Amino acid sequence: MSASTTDSAMPLEPMPDATRAAAGKAKKQPDIVRPYGDTTGDGMVQVSFTLPVPHDKRAEGAALQLAEKMGLKPALLVHAKAMGPDFTFFVVYGSVTHLVDLRDVTVVEREFPLLSPTEVNKAIKSRLRRKLVVVGACIGTDAHTVGIDAILNIKGFAGEKGLEYYREVKVVNLGAQVLVPELVERARAEKADAVMVSQVVTQRDAHIHNTTTMSAAFREAYPAGQVPLLVVGGPRFEEGSAPTLGVDRIFGRGTTPGEVASYLVHALAQPSSRKEKP
């Protein structure tokens, strides 16, 4: 997940006349675009895929046939490698005729400002008057802790320290392959304000199944309105799917600890916050 541009807490300085003039002369971005390879608008793209066939000339022909059906014409096979005796991995390069209308692209905008660690600590202290408790884990059979560790561990990610660095945040990192009942039990024991789950394994939509199972378990275990904030992260979650999965927030690739911390503060500030506890 990549972090969005930071929102300044201070008033913006007026734009100098020279800067404003330069901005006005900036080249207008087109609405309709094509992929770029060797020259502008040539439509060249590179795709990779695996076919369940042994590596031979027939397999390479099948890869080119698939590429043409995908709209790459002409298609050039630039790489083929056997993946065991029964599979072959391909990389194909070619031109597509498809166009992209940027006016039809929709994105989920970040609705909260990015705060510094000092601002996060100050907000938590003033609103909760105690430490914010975060319980994190990789659930199911997922053993990939890189994502959850990047957010929770003090070493952090992308030059930002993890939530363990924030003095007003108590972090309980349960690690990998945690069963959902264990996660619920520990969250209750710690009186968690937020539960963070990382899901990297996505075969057969395991991340979807695990997330919906987890959210249902928390709603069954907690009284209405007292469920901790449920936050999920992973590279394959779709933006805007949080309500469908029963969670409060989804973070994708490139998310930084500061972005997560800022979101927690934002969530605490909501009038309907479920994090206020006696």
pLDDT at 75: 94
**DSSP-derived secondary structure letter, 172:** E
Q: Which of 91, 7, 89 is nearest to 55 (CA)?
A: 89
pLDDT at 190: 97
pLDDT at 238: 84
Task: List, for residues 1-39, the tens digit of each pLDDT value.
Answer: 434 433 433 333 444 555 555 555 566 788 899 999 889
**DSSP-derived secondary structure letter, 103:** G
What is the token pair recorded at 261? 């911390």
Mean pLDDT of 161-181: 96
The three-state secondary structure class of 53 is: coil
Angle, helices 206-221 vs 180-190, to 10°: value is: 40
pLDDT at 188: 97
What is the token pair recorded at 182? 């264990």
What is the token pair recorded at 210? 């695990």
Which residues are CB-neighbours of 107 under 8 A, at least 6 positions away?
239
Question: C-alpha angle 130/113/198, rounded to 5°?
Answer: 70
Mean pLDDT of 39-68: 96
Question: C-alpha angle 1/234/247, rounded to 5°?
Answer: 110
Average pLDDT of the chain is: 87
Task: List, for residues 145-168, the tens digit of each pLDDT value.
Answer: 998 999 999 999 889 999 999 999
pLDDT at 223: 94
pLDDT at 138: 93
| Residue 275 pLDDT > 70 | no
Mean pLDDT of 99-109: 86
Helices (H), 46-190: 57-69, 117-128, 146-152, 180-190
State the catalytic residues. Answer: 155
Mean pLDDT of 95-109: 87
Task: List, for residues 237-273, the tens digit of each pLDDT value.
Answer: 887 889 999 999 999 888 999 999 999 999 987 655 4
Q: End-to-end CA distance of the chain, in Å?
A: 35
Q: Answer whether 206's CB lies under 8 Å from 140's CB.
A: yes
Task: List, for residues 183-193, the tens digit of each pLDDT value.
Answer: 999 999 999 99
Q: Which of 25-34, 82-91, 172-181 has the lowest mean pLDDT?
A: 25-34
